Structure 1
Amino acid sequence: MRREERDPWGKPVELAESQLLGGVTHELGHALGLQGHANSGKSVMVRETSSVEKIGEKLNDEKKPKPLQEPAMQALYSLPSGTVIERRRLAPGATRQIDEIAQRARAQGAVRVKVRVGDRAAAVRWGPGPDLVYFLKEPAKILDKHLEFGEALTIP
């Protein structure tokens, strides 16, 4: 993370403490497992730097500092690792294409899966090949039952 930006003429402009604190807190969120960016809200994980700066100001307020309230972080670390939140039945054959990807991956020696989830999309990668990945759009809508798994699934 840079300590300064450049103005339109290329002159260095040092970042304010609140900008640095907000930015560092945002990046720490990524380091602790929050991979995507929040679409909106009071999360430090939003993409807009002005919102992140405002959170930095609240954290850095000398008279009345406010503790960080990060719902995504609380959700991420409130349950023990491996906790199953819900099991849901899928339509017969709904995972056929995914099962085929998993089979190809195992045949190629894959032993783990890399999952990245954001607000708008999720990627599940079983290995480096283009035939070892699938994507889900709007994962939150799947969980909220506003989108069927098959409609959200994209296989390149």
Structure 2
Amino acid sequence: MKPPATPAPTPSSRPSPTAWTPRWPAPGGGGHDLSGGQWQRLAVARGFHRDAPVVVMDEPTSALDARAEHQLFTRLRTLAHGRAATVFITHRLANAAVADRVIVLHNGHVAESGTYQELLAAGSRFAELKDLQDRRTDGTPATASAGTPR
């Protein structure tokens, strides 16, 4: 006897190859999803685990807490060693301090390029934006340690 025909999967019944939502086992059964920061740490780790000469990270710390962000950027040079380039895109301009070269884009074009310190010293667009990020909500400049204005 011939087995019954199985209908072909329709586009809506096939799982998407990018739709992966694992559930992690929890005590007592069920599962828990990872937090946004945990997913982000996993993605960064996967990026550096691959044997690729270039790694591009877009806002690699946007979902991380301050401690995890600090850990990532203090280890970035070690993680990037031996690669042709590690590119990270950030709107948190203080994070650019770890970069060998900072490239500032404006309206789709390179507006300026240099080291973090060079761009700050030049009073560039980068310096202006960095200063805006450093200001407190009341508009007064942020202060460095011991109350010394920046």
Greater Rg by CA: 2
Structure scoring higher RCO (CA < 8 A, sep ≥ 6) equals 1
Query: Normalising to structure 1: TM-score of the pair?
Result: 0.27
Query: Normalising to structure 2: TM-score of the pair?
Result: 0.28
